[in-house]
Amino acid sequence: MEQHRTRPPNDGPRRGRPPQPPLPPQARRRRGGERGPGGERRPAPGPGRGGRQAGAVRQARGARPGPRLPNPRLTGLGSGLFCAAAMFLLGCLDQLLFGGSPTVYGVLFLPVCVLTALWVRGGDLLTAPVVVPIAFAVGLPALGEGGGGLLGQTMGLVTGLATQAGWLYGGTLAAGVIVLVRRVRWVRQRRRRS
């Protein structure tokens, strides 16, 4: 037995509401610009154009913009993974090229600490001084200190941490200072906004 629809489809106008006229093209603006009559995208007027004009003025004055450095923003976990992976790879590279020199490993540890403190995002700033010493310990077994077996590796790790404490403290201190400066600037910016 067939039943016929008794309700009108939903795409029609609803009862009790007058039909609304279509919006003019000026009102159909989107975030990335507006669409013209042929569907092409036009840039929306706004603060983005002022930045381009200021760049053009700087270029006209003879000041060339320099190359931009990468500026990623890592989460707390991401900064820990970055730091640990970088130190493990640098430890392996040190073992291959310099025979596992602890001094070279310590020198390479400092820029990793600085980059970790610079690249962690504002909300996770306090994780950088915590993950840096852990990453130092992650890369030490790659230097090949200690004998075979679990006990030998553990003794090599403890010895490496004891003898390279200066590099460990120096890198952690550098990360802590950078994080402290960034935190103070972040708090000041938030106070200015509010």
Annotated domain spans of the chain: 76-193
Torsion angle in degrees (nearest 10) through CA of 73, 78, 80, 82: -80
Residue 153, burial from CB neighbour count under 10 angstroms (0-12, 13-18, 19+):
middle
- Give the pair of three-digit tokens for residue 157: 């790790």
Question: 140 with 160: CB under 8 angstroms?
Answer: yes
State percent of the chain over pLDDT 90.
Answer: 38
Give the CA radius of gyration of the chain.
29
pLDDT digits (tens, 9 = 90+) for 136-153: 999 998 887 766 788 888
Q: Per-residue pLDDT averaged across 99-123, rounded? A: 92
Using DSSP, state whether 7 is helix, strand or coil. coil
Residue 40 has pLDDT above 60, yes or no: no
This prediction has a pTM of 0.61
Of residues 66 and 11, the one with the higher pLDDT is: 66
Q: How far apart are CA 159 and CA 140, in angstroms?
A: 10
pLDDT digits (tens, 9 = 90+) for 12-34: 556 666 666 666 666 555 544 54
| Tokens 């036009």 -> residue | 42
3-state secondary structure 17-59: CCCCCCCCHHHCCECCEEECCCCCEECCCCHHHHHHHHHHHHH
Q: Per-residue pLDDT averaged across 154-176, rounded? A: 91
